[in-house]
Amino acid sequence: MNPPRQDGSGSWQQYLTIPTALLAPAPETVDLINAATLPLAALTADQALKRLDLHADDRLLITGAAGSVGGMAIQLAAIAGVRTAALVSRREHEPAVLDLGAASPHSNPATAGKFDAIFDTAGVFNHPELLREGGRLVTVSDDTIPVALEERAALAVHNYVQHAPQRLRELSALVDAGTIRLRVAEQYPLNRIEDAHRRAEAGSLLGKVVVIM
Ligand SMILES: NC(=O)c1ccc[n+]([C@@H]2O[C@H](COP(=O)([O-])OP(=O)(O)OC[C@H]3O[C@@H](n4cnc5c(N)ncnc54)[C@H](OP(=O)(O)O)[C@@H]3O)[C@@H](O)[C@H]2O)c1
């Protein structure tokens, strides 16, 4: 997890320097292609779920649930004993979110129900009626939170992932224990980076697009 910098450098290079204090060992039971999908998606999901301050009896909705962050959030919520409704953009993704541990899959927000907490990974979650009055919403998209949602929420915030090496170590251990599943949708060599971008932009992914160097 090493974001692009102003000078154009970032993770897409064969060698880079990164403070050792930010590192955690990769899981040992999966290859590095799979391991590469863990840090950003898992830490993003984990930190957003923590911000939602969930209790076991909370009704939680995750939007973009078939995506990388959403799919990780389903699994982490299940580990925490929270029942999750999973909102996906297309009906054919419903089996995938059930498989990850969602209690109920939804492709139509109108029939999804009412929730104490919403974790929005899809962006522009403009269905205020799905959040109960006084509920909590955390989004990891950059989009503006609709006013109607803000007005009924006790908490409606953006959350941005932070390095958390100790937690990443624990998440790696959960992968090795078989508790968290990693998902690679497609892999591309670096010389096909344009194709990788086009594939990512096309959407309908069930997992990460991985670029291999
Ligand atoms: N704040 C942070 O720190 C942070 C960190 C990491 C990522 N992010 C952001 O988090 C978002 C998710 O990342 P990701 O890696 O999980 O992307 P992803 O794998 O592409 O997942 C996004 C998911 O949202 C679905 N979606 C789109 N519109 C939807 C809708 N109206 N209803 C339900 N589902 C919908 C997509 O489905 P289809 O593709 O099938 O339409 C896809 O499954 C991105 O915006 C990313 O930039 C933020």
Does position 98 have pLDDT exceeding 90, yes or no? yes
Compute how many other C-beta atoms are within 10 angstroms of the C-beta atom of residue 148: 13
Residue type, 119: F
pLDDT confidence of residue 141:
95
For 43-53, the pLDDT digits (tens) are 999 999 999 99
Does position 67 have pLDDT exceeding 90, yes or no? yes
Q: Locate 112 and state its tokens.
A: 């999804």
The verdict on the CB of residue 123 being under 6 Å from ligand 1 is: yes
The verdict on the CB of residue 161 being under 6 Å from ligand 1 is: yes
Distance of CA 142 to the CA centre of its chain: 14
Tell me how far apart the alpha carbons of residues 15 and 192 are, in angstroms, rounded to a whole number: 19
Does position 8 have pLDDT exceeding 80, yes or no? no
Does position 39 have pLDDT exceeding 80, yes or no? yes
Q: For domain 29-213, is the CATH number 3.90.180.10?
A: yes
For 11-24, the pLDDT digits (tens) are 777 788 888 888 99
Tell me how far apart the alpha carbons of residues 109 and 111 are, in angstroms, rounded to a whole number: 5
Tell me how far apart the alpha carbons of residues 63 and 54 are, in angstroms, rounded to a whole number: 16
Residue 2 pLDDT class (50, 70, 90 cuts): confident
Mean pLDDT of 15-34: 92
The verdict on the CB of residue 122 being under 6 Å from ligand 1 is: yes
Mean pLDDT of 23-52: 97
166 DSSP assignment: H
Ligand 1 center to 196 CA (angstroms): 16
**Could you tell me what percent of the chain has a pLDDT over 90?**
86
Ligand 1 center to 7 CA (angstroms): 26
Q: What is the pTM of this model?
A: 0.96
Mean pLDDT of 72-83: 97
Ligand 1 center to 178 CA (angstroms): 24
For 107-151, the pLDDT digits (tens) are 999 999 999 999 999 986 789 999 999 999 999 999 999 999 999
